[in-house]
Structure 1
Amino acid sequence: MFDVAIIGGGAAGFYAAVHAAEANPKLKIVIFEKGKEVLLKVKVSGGGRCNVTHAEFNPHELAKNYPRGEKELLGPFHTHFSGDTVAFFEEKGIPLKIEEDGRMFPVSNSSQTIIDFFLSEADRLGIKVMRHSAVTNIEPVCSENGIKTWQITSIKSTYQAKKVLIATGSSPKIWGLLKKLGHTIVSPVPSLFTFNIDDERINGIPGISANAKIDVLAKPRNNTKVTVKLKSELATEKPILTSEGPLLVTHWGMSGPAVLKLSAWGANILNECNYQFFIKVNWLPDYHENGVFDLLLEIKEIERKKTILRTKAVDLPRRLWTNLVRASGIPSDMKWADVPKEKLQQLAGQLTDCKFKVDGKSTFKEEFVTAGGVDLKEVNFKTYESKILPGLYFAGEVINVDAITGGFNFQNAWTGGYIAAKAIAEER
C-alpha cells in the first residue's frame, strides 16, 4: 500500500513527489512512468537547456500568460509562483539566470542539471520510481474497514494507494480513464505551433527575424488569391486575433513569439478553421500604410540616383526588403527617381499590409502543448483535488490549462505539483 501514487514521471510529478516527501518524510510515495525515461519534456525544453520558469514576479501579470486558466491560476500563484520556484531550485544548489526575454534557465545551461537533481532527490527521499509502468486503470475501492483507497493497474501489476495524483500531461489514455470516472474532458487541440506558409516573399530566407504585427483575418475562401490588396470581403474584415512581437521566417513558414502567441490564444479558433486562414503582417508595426507611402516619396526625392533594391529604406533585414520590393513589381535595376507612385503604393502595402495564406501547422520544436483536459470547474484550485472524486489530485497539463512559450507551462506544473503535494501531506 502506497500513501501517494503519482501517475506521470514529468516535471509536475517529480516536483510534487519531492515536496510531499519533504513535508511528510513518512509518506510512502511511488511515481509511475510509462516510458523508460522520465522528465522527457524537461530534457528537450529550451533546446536542451530547460526553460525552468519566467522572470515575471507579479502573480496577476504571470496569470495573463495563460489562455486557458488565467482566472483559476491567480489564487494558486499567490501561494506558489515563479519567485518560489526560483527560491526552491537555488536553495537546492541550482542557481537560475534570466535572459533578455525573461526566460529563466539553470546557470549550467543544461536540462540534465534539473533531471539529475530530481533523480537524486527521489533517491534521497525514498521515492520509488517505476519505469515501463503505463497505467491502464484507476478506480476507487473500499477496504474491509471501509476506508476508501485507490487501485492502480499498470501493465506490470496492481497496486493500492491512499491518494492519487495525476500528472501525465496531455495523455488521451489517462483522459479516457478520468472520463470513465465521471470527469468532463475538454477536447484537446494543439496550442503552441508554427504557421505553414508557401509564399515567394518568404521562401528562401529562413532565419530572417523582424518585429511585426500579425492579424489573423479569416478562413480563406476557395480559389482566393492572396495579393497586396484582396478583392474580396477580407479587405474589410476585422482581425479575429492580433499579436505583435518577433516574427521568425522558417523553412516551412513563420514562427517566433508573435506567431506562437497567436497559436496559443487562438488554439480553438484556428482548430475550427482546420489551420487554413489568412494573416496580415505589418513588418513596420509603428507605421500605417499611408505613413510609409509618404516616407517612400521622401526617399524617392533624396535617393533619386540610387536603385531602390539596394537602398534599404526601412529597418528590415535586407533579404526581406529585397523580396518585398520584387513582390511590388519593381525591377531590380530601377532607380528611385523612376519608380511610379503606384509601385511605391504597392511597396507600402507589402510593408504594412502583407497578406499570406496559412495552410497547416507544425509543432513548435519538441515542446508539444495542447489546450484541453480536465474541465477547470471540476478542480479545487486551493488543493488541486478533484471536486468529483476525493483523494484524486491533478497537476500540470492534464487539466485544461496551457500557456504561451517562455517557461510558463513549467510554472503551471511547479505550482500545481506544489499545492497538491502540500494538500496531500497535510491530509494524511
Structure 2
Amino acid sequence: MKKSVKAFSHCSYTKFLLLLNVQKYDISFKQILSPYYMKIAIVGGGAAGFFLAIHLKQAVPENRVIIFERAGRVLAKVRVSGGGRCNLTNSFAHVDDLSHIYPRGARLMKRLLREFSHEDAYRWFEAHGVKLVTQDDDCVFPAVQDSAAVISCLTHQAGRLGVEVRLGHPVKAVKRHEEGGLEVLFSGEGHSAERFDRVAVTTGGAPRSEGFDYLAALGHKMETPCPSLYTFSILHKDLTAMMGLVVEAAQVSIPGTKFRSRGALLITHWGLSGPAILKLSSYAARHLHDAGYRSPLQVSWAGEVNMETVRGYLQKMLSDNPRKQLGTLHPYGLQQRLWLYLLRRCGLCEEQLCGELGGKSLNRLANVLTADAYAIEGKGTYRDEFVTCGGVALSSVNALTMESRHCAGLYFAGEVLDVDAVTGGFNFQAAWTTAFVAARAMAAR
C-alpha cells in the first residue's frame, strides 16, 4: 500500500471504538448525548441510507429512524453492482493519488477516509457476517460472489435495530418547520407530511436536476447531475462484429482534451466497454454530458501513444519476419481477429509479405495502432449501474459533519453529494464513509 493512502488506516474511527471499548464495530455515543431522543428521516433506501440508519440506531437505540424509499424495493444499485456480485470497496493498495479515482470530491474523501477507511468498511462487514475477498485487481467482493450477501447484511442489521422502512414514499420537499426541526413532504396521495428532528438525504442514481429543486430552494448550490460510469455507443459494424473481444492494456482518450485512461477494453455489440471506457466516462462525465454524448474517441490498441515507439516496434517485427505474411503476426499480443481488422483499416492485405511493406504503409499501421479514430454516438442504456456526477456542491456542506451549511439539522451522504469515483468499489466506499461521518454527527447532537 502506498504511504499516502496507508495513512487512512490510522483513522479516528478505530481509535474512537477502542476508547469506548465497543465490540464488533457497533458504535455507542450515549456518553455524549442528552436524554432527548430524536425522530430522524433518511431519504433514500440505498447503500448510504441503510449504513447511516444502522449507525444511528447503534449509537442511540431509542432514536426513531425511518428510511423513505421512492421505489418498491431498497438497495437496487447494490443488487446489480459488479455484475450482481457487489464490489463493495477496494484495498486502495495501488492508489497514490485520490484525484485519479475520485474525479470529483478527492479532497473531501482524503479527509473523511481518516474517519472511516476502506479497512474499517472491510472489518465492519466481516464483523456482521459478510466474509470478503480481495481480488488481484484490488477490488473487494463478498466471498460468495453475490450481492445478496451485502443486501441481507444491511437489511438484517437495520431490522434487528428497529430501523423502519417505508417503500413507495417519494420525497418532494424538505422544509424548515415553524416550531423547529424539519418537515418532509411526499409526492402522491395518501402520504401526510411529517416533522423530524433531523433529516439525511442519501438519494442517488442519476436523477434529473429537478429532483434537487427542493434542496436548491433551501439555499444549496447544486451541480447539475449527470451520469458517469457508462459504456460508449459506437456505430461501426466492422468493430462491433468483434463483440466479446478484449484488449487487456489499451489506452483511450478524447482528442483535444486531457481526458484519457488505460485498462482493459471490451468490444460489445453496441460499441465499447470495459474498465478503460468506464474510467474515461468518469473523468469526462461533465464534458460528454455537455456535448450531448457525441464526441471523437481515440483508441491506442497497443496501449502506447508514442507513434515513433510503435513504428520502431513494428519495423523490427517486419525485419525479423520478411517472408511471413502480415496476417500471421500478433503485435502487442493482439488477437488475430483484431489484427486483421486493423490491417483492413489501413488498406493492407493480410497476405502481403512483411518484407514488402513500404514506409507509408508502416506509418498508417503505426497510426492505427496508436490513434485509431472513432465517433461516440451516445452512452450505454443500462441505467441501473450509472453513478451520478453532480449533486449538492461540497461548498454547501460542512466537511466535518456532512451537515448542510444552509439548513440546520439537514445532512447528506452518498451519491447526492458531488462526489463520484471510477469503477472498482470506490463509490461504495464513499457511501460508507460519508454515511458514517453523518451518522456520528447526527447522533452526537
Of the candidates 115, 118, 121, which is equivalent to residue 82 of structure 1? Answer: 118
Distance 2:94 2:371 in 1: 36
**Aligned match of 1:213 in 251, 266, 270?**
251
Residue 161 of structure 1 and its aligned partner are, at CA, apart by 1.0
**Any idea what SS the aligned residue of 2:153 has?**
helix
Aligned-pair RMSD on alpha carbons? 2.1
Give distance in 2, aligned partners of 1:58 and 1:380: 29
The answer on 1:153 being equivalent to 2:185 is yes
* Residue of structure 1 in register with 2:55 after alignment: 19
SS of 1:261's partner is: helix
Aligned to 2:219: 182
Amino acid paired to 2:113: F
Contact 1:201/1:320, CA 8 A, preserved across alignment: no
1:245 deviates by: 1.8
**What is aligned with 2:162?**
126
Question: Could you tell me how far 1:287 is from its partner in structure 2?
Answer: 6.6
Structure 1 residues 294 and 168 mapped into 2: Cα distance closer, same or farther (>3 Å)? closer
Instruction: Classify 1:61/1:364 alpha carbon distance in 2 versus 1 (closer, same or farther; 3 Å).
Output: farther
**Does the 8 A contact of 2:251 with 2:304 survive in 1?**
no
TM-superposed CA distance for 1:311, in Å, is: 2.6
User: Is 2:128 aligned against 1:92?
Assistant: yes
1:59–1:81 Cα contact (<8 Å) kept: no
Amino acid in the other structure paired with 2:231: T
Q: Following the alignment from structure 1 to structure 2, what is the Cα–Cα distance between the partners of residues 339 and 136?
A: 67
Note the 1:170-249 alignment, pairs <5 A.
170-172=206-208, 174-199=211-236, 202-210=239-247, 211-218=249-256, 239-249=257-267
SS at match of 1:93: coil
Q: Equivalent residue of 1:97, what SS?
A: strand
Structure 1 contact 13–31 (Cα < 8 Å) conserved: yes
Distance 2:110 2:302 in 1: 35
Match of 1:294 in 2: 312
- Secondary structure at the residue paired with 2:318? helix
- Tell me which amino acid in the other structure corresponds to 1:358: I
What is the SS of the residue equivalent to 1:356? strand
1:30 to 66, 77, 93: 66
Measured against aligned partners, the alpha-carbon deviations of 1:76-109 in whole angstroms (never above 9, x if no partner) come to: 1110121110011011121211112111111111
Aligned residue identity for 2:218: L
Shift of 1:418: 0.6
User: Separation in 1 of the partners of 2:63 and 2:141?
Assistant: 31
> Aligned match of 1:253 in 259, 262, 271?
271
Given that residues 304 and 310 in structure 2 are in contact (C-alpha distance below 8 angstroms), is that contact kept between their aligned partners in structure 1?
no
Give the letter for the 1:251 counterpart.
H
The yes-or-no answer on 1:410 pairing with 2:442 is no
* Aligned partner (choices 373, 376, 391) of residue 391 of structure 2: 373
Task: Find the counterpart in structure 2 of residue 105 from structure 1.
Answer: 141
Conserved? CA contact 2:202–2:412, under 8 Å = yes
1:231 — aligned with what? none
Letter in structure 1 aligned against 2:181: T
Q: Which runs of 5+ in 1 are unaligned?
A: 219-238
User: Residues 117 and 184 of structure 1: is their aligned pair in 2 closer, same or farther, counting only changes over 3 Å?
Assistant: same
Q: Classify the secondary structure of the residue corresponding to 2:309.
A: helix
Matched position secondary structure for 2:200? strand
Stretch moving more, 402-411 or 271-280:
271-280
- The alpha carbon displacement at 1:117 in A equals 1.4
Q: Are 2:199 and 1:164 aligned?
A: yes
Distance of 1:200 and 1:293 partners within structure 2: 28
Alpha-carbon contact 1:31-1:128 (below 8 Å) kept: yes
Displacement of 1:137 in angstroms is 2.6
Name whichever of 148-157 and 56-65 sits farther off.
56-65
Equivalent pairs, count: 403
Change (3 A) 1:130 1:365: closer
Cα separation, 1, equivalents of 2:77 and 2:51: 14
- What is the CA–CA distance in structure 1 between the aligned matches of 2:363 and 2:96, rounded to whole Å? 44
Q: Please name the residue that 1:71 is paired with.
A: 107
Residue 20 of structure 1, CA deviation: 0.7
Cα offset for 1:35? 1.3
Stretch of structure 1 that moved more, 171-180 or 130-139: 171-180
* Aligned equivalents of 1:402, 1:214: Cα separation in 2: 20
Q: What residue in structure 2 maps to residue 225 of structure 1?
A: none
SS of 2:348 mapped into structure 1: coil
Q: Which residue of 1 aligns with 2:151?
A: 115
SS at match of 2:112: helix
Q: Is residue 213–residue 244 contact of structure 1 (8 Å, CA) maintained in 2?
A: yes
Decide whether aligned partners of structure 1 residues 63 and 300 sit closer, same or farther in structure 2, where only a CA change above 3 A counts: closer
Change (3 A) 1:160 1:58: farther
The offset of 1:44, in angstroms, is 0.6
Residue 68 to residue 287, structure 1, CA distance change in 2 (3 Å): closer
User: 2: CA distance between counterparts of 1:323 and 1:58?
Assistant: 35
The alignment partner of 1:120 has SS state of: helix
Work out which structure has the larger RCO, using CA pairs closer than 8 Å and 6 or more positions apart in sequence: 1
Q: Output the CA distance in 2 between the equivalents of 1:248 and 1:394.
A: 36
- TM-superposed deviation, 1:355: 1.8
Task: Provide the residue aligned with 1:423 in structure 2.
Answer: 441
Which whole-Å CA distance do the structure 2 matches of 1:186 and 1:297 have between them?
50
Amino acid at match of 1:402: D
Which whole-Å CA distance do the structure 2 matches of 1:157 and 1:60 have between them?
49
**Aligned partner of 1:401: which letter?**
V
Greater strand proportion? 1
Report Cα offsets for 1:285-304 as digits up to 9, x if no partner: 34732333333333333323
Distance 2:127 2:93 in 1: 18
| More helix by percentage | 2
Letter in 1 for 2:131: P
Matched residue type, 1:98: T
1:344 correspondence with 2:362: yes
Q: 398-407 vs 13-22, which deviates more?
A: 398-407
Separation (CA, whole Å) in 2 of partners of 1:294 and 1:254: 28
Letter matched to residue 405 of structure 2: K
Identity within the alignment, %: 36
